[in-house]
Amino acid sequence: MTKPLRPALLSGILLAVLGSLCPFLWFVLTSFKSQIQVEAIPPTWWPDGSVGFYASALIEHRLLHYIRNSVIVAGATTVIALVVATPTAYALARLRMAGKAWILGGLLCVAMFPHIVIAGPVWQILERLGGLNTHWGLVLPYVSLTLPLAVWILTTFFQELPFELEEAARIDGCTGWQALYRILLPLAAPGLFTTAILTFIYAWNEFFFALLILTDPEHQTLPVGIALFQGEFTMPWGEIAATSVIATLPLIIIVLLFQRGIISGLSAGAVKG
């Protein structure tokens, strides 16, 4: 049912949408300008539609290379975090165990740690393991950083599934593992998917650990590349804008497609706690 929009609501919607999108739209426009337009004072609003900055980002600034690194790191983090978090969440949601509340609470506390407090020792661990300037060296701490949220969201999803299904399976002699993989996992697919999306976004966007662990441009991810963008004489704003648009594009697509899942996933993590 839709009512005609009240003026107050309409202006609220417009403010929220324009405020959210306009600043980034300016960056999108910038990415399609020519160098002369970017350096015009006062600035020009409308681009001439040149794709020169995309070309130079791809060729001179090796954009594909950064994209590849980001895909590897974010992809591996998502897969490993899900594989590790799923049994944990199942056990916390469904099995009779002592100390479950403590483990969940403890995970939430760990998620609140300031990153700087673990950064130094994590760096030293990775140095000893030979993990500095490697993809896996970044994936390991990322898995640890994303696990608390993943476990929380999956636990709430598992708790909402009906107990009867599983009871029947257990009476028929299924073990906990079998009940998890044969019965609950297919039912929890939407929850797994939401968790995967949130984990992927986190790993795709993370900057602090990536900056510390990947000092060699060969392995750096997109956020590090974007933050450390340097021109020879002036800031290459056009290339920065083009790279930023490309780094953001997958996220915009994800948000447009899975807005519903993201909202329910984020609020599940927060409200039930």
Partner 1 sequence: MRENDAMTPSTRDHATGWLMIFPALTFVAVFSLYPAMDSFLLSLYSEFPGSERSFIGFGNYAELFRDPVAHQALIVTLGFVLLSTTLELLLGTGIALVIHERFKGRGWTRAAVLIPWAIPTVVAAQMWRFLLNDQYGAVNAILFGDQVDAYVPWLADPWMAFGAIVLADVWKTSSFAGLLILAGLQVIPDETYDAARIDGATAWQRFWHITFPLLKPALLTALLFRTIDAFRVFDLVFVMTQGGPGDATQVIQFYGYKTLFTEGRVGYGTTISVTVFVALAIFSLFYVRTVGSKLLQREPA
Looking at residues 129 to 188 of the shown chain, list those that interact with partner 1 (rule: CB under 8 A). 140-141, 143-145, 147-148, 151, 170, 175-177
To the nearest whole angstrom, how small is the minimum distance from the Cβ of residue 236 to partner 1? Answer: 11
- How many residues lie near partner 1 (CB under 8 A)? 99
d(CA 86, CA 128): 30
Kindly tell me which residue out of 7, 46, 117, 232 binds partner 1, with binding defined by CB under 8 A: 117
Site for partner 1 in 16-55 (CB under 8 A): 16-17, 19-21, 23-24, 26-27, 30, 38-43, 45
Q: Token pair of 56, please?
A: 């130079």
3-state secondary structure of 114: coil
- Minimum distance of partner 1 from residue 33's CB (angstroms): 10
Q: Tell which one of 63, 92, 132, 138 touches partner 1 (CB under 8 A).
A: 92
Which residue of 53, 90, 152, 157 would you call a contact of partner 1, by CB under 8 A?
90
Q: Long-range contacts for 15-24 (Cβ within 8 Å, ≥24 apart)?
A: 24/248
Counting every residue, how long is the chain? 273
From the list 6-14, 57-65, 71-79, 184-192, the region that binds partner 1 by CB under 8 A is 6-14
Please report how close the Cβ of residue 204 comes to partner 1 at its closest, in angstroms: 7
Shortest approach of partner 1 to residue 270 CB, angstroms? Answer: 5
Do residues 212 and 119 make contact, with C-beta atoms less than 8 angstroms apart? yes
Provide the minimum distance between the beta carbon of 59 and partner 1 in the complex, in angstroms, as a whole number: 20
Alpha-carbon span 241 to 24, nearest angstrom = 10
Least gap, CB of 128 to partner 1 (angstroms) = 12
Instruction: Please tell me the distance from the alpha carbon of residue 172 to that of residue 248, in angstroms, as a whole number.
Output: 49
3-state secondary structure of 44: coil
Catalogue the long-range contacts made by 169-173 (C-beta closer than 8 Å, 24 or more residues apart): none
Q: Specify the amino acid at residue 162.
A: P
Helices (H) and strands (E) counted in the chain, each on its own, are 14, 0
Hey, which residues between 212 and 271 contact partner 1 (CB under 8 A)? 212, 222-224, 226-227, 229, 237, 240-241, 244, 247-248, 251-252, 254-256, 259-260, 262-263, 266-267, 270-271
| Residue in 9, 36, 64, 168 binding partner 1, rule: CB under 8 A | 9
Which tokens go with 99? 């100390």
Dihedral, CA of residue 162, residue 165, residue 171 and residue 172, to nearest 10: -170
- Report in angstroms the alpha-carbon separations of 80 from 68, 76, 191, 199, 209: 18, 6, 16, 10, 18
Q: Which stretch binds partner 1 (CB under 8 A): 46-54, 105-113, 157-165, 181-189?
A: 105-113
Q: What's the closest the beta carbon of residue 78 comes to partner 1, in angstroms?
A: 14
